[in-house]
């Protein structure tokens, strides 16, 4: 019985710390997403690059089927191109300078993490020169390297606003 009491006391001591650590990690990851957004608005490449892991970082997107169908209808099969493209976070940042203003807005954010790796899913809308250009789902993977969370991949789906409007937030929450 004494061993049971000791185990129970240890467990009750450790569990709140574990829960706090999970909350802290999620708050840090949310701050990274906020910093990502702010650096897109301010076009602060140094702050943006610091969010990412050193070495290879996956950056790719794909048009959703219905947008790709509309692109083929508008441009023809040979001119519409692939529904998939890849690049880099540095290329994304450089591309922002062609706009007077830009913003990547995020909502419906869900974070799964175990203290070392994390996966974030969210809805996004990309705005250029004060107009939404595209929207979809965005997936970030992160790793906690040397005590700091770093983004290792950005993968997203893409709907062009010229073809399809982004559903209202309430509708997107049902996913």
**82-121 tens-digit pLDDT:** 999 999 999 999 999 999 999 999 999 999 999 999 999 9
User: Domain span at residue 135?
Assistant: 2-173
Do residues 129 and 99 lie in contact, with contact meaning Cβ atoms separated by under 8 Å? yes
Taking the C-alpha atoms of residue 80 and residue 34, their distance in angstroms, rounded to an integer, is: 34
Q: Phi and psi dihedrals of 147, rounded to 5?
A: 85, 0
Overall average pLDDT of the 148-169 stretch: 96
DSSP letter for each residue of 111-130: EEE-SSEEEEEEEEEEEETT
What's the pTM value of the predicted model, to 2 decimals?
0.84
Looking at per-residue pLDDT, the higher value among 9 and 116 belongs to 116
How many independent structural domains does the chain possess? 1
Q: Are strands 148-160 and 58-63 parallel, antiparallel or unpaired?
A: parallel
CATH number, domain containing residue 30? 3.10.450.50
């Amino acid at each position: 019985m004494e061993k049971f009491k000791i185990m129970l006391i240890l467990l009750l001591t450790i569990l709140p710390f574990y829960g706090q650590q999970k909350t802290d990690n999620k708050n840090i990851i949310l701050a990274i997403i906020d910093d990502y957004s702010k650096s897109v608005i301010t076009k602060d490449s140094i702050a943006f690059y610091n969010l990412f892991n050193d070495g290879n970082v996956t950056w790719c997107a794909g048009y959703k089927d219905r947008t790709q169908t509309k692109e083929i209808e508008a441009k023809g099969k040979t001119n519409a191109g692939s529904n998939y493209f890849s690049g880099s976070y540095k290329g994304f940042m450089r591309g922002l300078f062609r706009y007077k203003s830009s913003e990547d807005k995020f909502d419906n954010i869900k974070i799964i993490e175990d203290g070392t790796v994390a996966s974030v899913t969210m809805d996004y809308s990309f705005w250029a020169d004060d107009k939404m250009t595209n929207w979809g789902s965005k997936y970030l993977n992160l790793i906690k390297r040397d005590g700091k969370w770093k983004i290792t991949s950005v993968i997203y789906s893409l709907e062009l606003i010229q073809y399809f409007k982004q559903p209202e937030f309430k509708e997107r929450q049902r996913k």
